[in-house]
Structure 1
Amino acid sequence: MAKDFKQALGKAIEHADDQFDFFMQRIRNRFGLYKPLQIVAYRSYGTVNRLYLKGRVLANKGITSAADNDTLLKNLVNMYRRFESDEVRDAQMRIVYQDQEYNVSTDKEGYFVINLEPKTPLKPDDIWHPMEVELVHADISSFEPGIKTKAHVLVPPADAEYGIISDIDDTIVLTSATDIIKMSQQTFMNNARTRLPFAGVSAFYRSLQLGRNGKRNNPFFYVSSSPWNMYDLLHDFLDINDIPAGPLLLRDFGLMQNKFFGADHMSHKFKEIQNILLTYPHLNFVLIGDSGQQDAPIYKEVINKFPGRIICVYIRDVELPDRAKIVTTIAEELKGTVEVLLVKDTAAAAQHAADTGLIFHEEIEKVQEQKAIDKSDAPGTATQQAPAPISKDTRKIQG
Structure 2
Amino acid sequence: MTMPNSAMPFLVLTRAGYEDLARRVDLGKASLYVNPGLLSEHDIARLRETGTAVHVMATAVDPGKPQEVQQALLLTKSDAGSVWVERAAPRAAAGLVTGTGTGKTKVQRADAPVTPSTSLRRRLARSAGALASDTLRRLRISDHGRRLMAIPYQGFGNGTRIWLKGRLLDEHAFREQSQADSGWQNLVALYRLLESDQVAHARVLARFGGASHETFTDRGGYFSFDFTVDTVLASGWHRVELEFPDSLLPDRQPVRASADILVPAATARFGIISDIDDTVLWTNVTNKLNMALMLARTNHHTRKPFKGVAAFYRALRDGAGGDEDNPLFYVSSSPWHLYGPLVEFMKLQDIPLGPLLLRELSVRKVLKINQHGSHKLEQIERILDFYPGMQFVLIGDSGEQDPEIYTEVVRRHPHAVRMIYIRNVNPDPSRIDALDALIDEVSATGTQLVLSPDSVFAASHAAAEGLIAVDRLPSVRSDKREDESAEPIHSGL
Structures share a fold, TM > 0.5?
Answer: yes
Aligned pair partner of 2:395 in 271, 274, 288: 288
Structure 1 counterpart SS, 2:374:
helix
Is 1:196 the counterpart of 2:196? The answer is no
Q: How does 1:61-76 map to 2 (within 5 A)?
A: 61-76=172-187
CA contact (8 A) 1:43 1:248 kept: yes
Q: CA deviation at 1:47?
A: 1.3
- Pair 1:376 & 2:485 matched: yes
Equivalence map 1:148-187=2 (5 Å):
148-187=256-295
What residue ranges of structure 2 are gaps of 5+ in the alignment?
1-141
Q: Which residues in structure 2 correspond to 1:76-155 (within 5 Å)?
A: 76-123=187-234, 126-138=235-247, 144-155=252-263
| Cα distance between partner residues in 2 of 1:214 and 1:141 | 47
**Mapped partners of 1:365, 1:349: distance in 2:** 13
1:344-398 deviation per Cα after TM superposition (whole angstroms, max 9, x unaligned): 11000000000010010001111001111122225179xxxxxxxxxxxxxxxxx
* Kept after mapping to 1: 8 A contact 2:194/2:363: no
Assess if the C-alpha contact under 8 Å between 2:320 and 2:469 holds in 1.
yes
Q: Deviations over 1:122-145 (max 9, x none)?
A: 22xx3221122223222x796841
- 1:328 and 1:342 in contact (8 A); partners too: no
Change (3 A) 1:256 1:49: farther
**Partner residue of 2:130?**
none
Q: Which has the greater radius of gyration?
A: 2
C-alpha distance in structure 1 between counterparts of 2:252 and 2:195, whole Å: 22
Matches within 5 A, 1:1-399: 35-123=146-234, 126-138=235-247, 144-254=252-362, 264-321=371-428, 322-336=430-444, 337-379=446-488
SS at match of 1:274: helix
Query: Per-residue deviation at 1:33?
Result: 7.3
1:66 match: secondary structure: coil
Per the alignment, do residues 366 and 92 of structure 1 end up closer, same or farther by CA in structure 2, a change over 3 Å counting? same
CA contact (8 A) 2:274 2:330 kept: yes
**Does the CA-based 8 Å contact 2:330-2:355 persist in structure 1?**
yes
| TM-score of the two chains, using structure 2 as the length reference | 0.66
1:325 Cα offset (Å): 3.2
> How far did residue 146 of structure 1 move?
4.8
Deviations 1:42-98 (A, max 9, x none): 111121111111111002332222211111111100100011111111222232223
CA distance in 2, matches of 1:175, 1:130: 32
> What letter is aligned with 2:349?
N
Q: TM-score, normalised by structure 1?
A: 0.81
Distance 1:38 1:283 in 2: 36
CA distance in 2, matches of 1:191, 1:380: 11
Partners in 1 of 2:372 and 2:487 — Cα distance? 29
1:249-292 CA-to-partner distances (Å, cap 9, x unmatched) read 111113999x9999921111111111211221100000000010
Partner AA of 1:286 in structure 2: V
Percent identity between the two aligned chains: 37
Query: Larger relative contact order (C-alpha < 8 A, sep ≥ 6)?
Result: 1
For 1:304, give the aligned amino acid. R
Distance in 2, matches of 1:218 and 1:293, equals 27
Whether the 8 Å CA contact 1:225–1:251 is kept in 2: the answer is yes
- The 3-state SS of whatever aligns with 1:188 is helix
**Aligned-partner Cα distance in 1 for 2:370–2:426:** 27
Q: 2:155–2:355: 8 Å Cα contact kept in structure 1?
A: yes
Contact 2:194–2:362 (CA under 8 A) maintained in structure 1: no
Could you tell me whether the CA contact under 8 Å between 2:146 and 2:173 is conserved in 1? no
Task: Report the secondary structure of 1:207's partner residue.
Answer: helix
Give yes or no for contact 2:336–2:359 (8 Å, CA) kept in 1: yes
Deviations 1:108-133 (A, max 9, x none): 2211111233243222xx32211222
1:85/1:362 CA distance change after superposition, 3 Å: same
* Post-superposition offset of 1:149: 2.2
Q: Distance in 2 between matches of 1:68 and 1:380?
A: 9
CA contact (8 A) 1:37 1:143 kept: no
The verdict on how the C-alpha distance between 1:323 and 1:379 changes in structure 2, with shifts beyond 3 A counting, is farther
Cα deviation, 1:210-251, whole Å, max 9, x if unaligned, reads: 012332410111000111111111111112111111111111
Aligned equivalents of 1:117, 1:176: Cα separation in 2: 39
Distance in 1 between residues matched to 2:331 and 2:209, nearest whole Å: 29
SS in 1 for 2:172: coil
Quote the Cα distance in structure 2 between the aligned partners of 1:299 and 1:57. 32
Give the conservation status (yes or no) of the 8 Å contact 2:392–2:417. yes
Structure 1 residues 332 and 120, CA gap change in structure 2 (3 angstroms)? closer
1:343: how far off?
A: 0.6
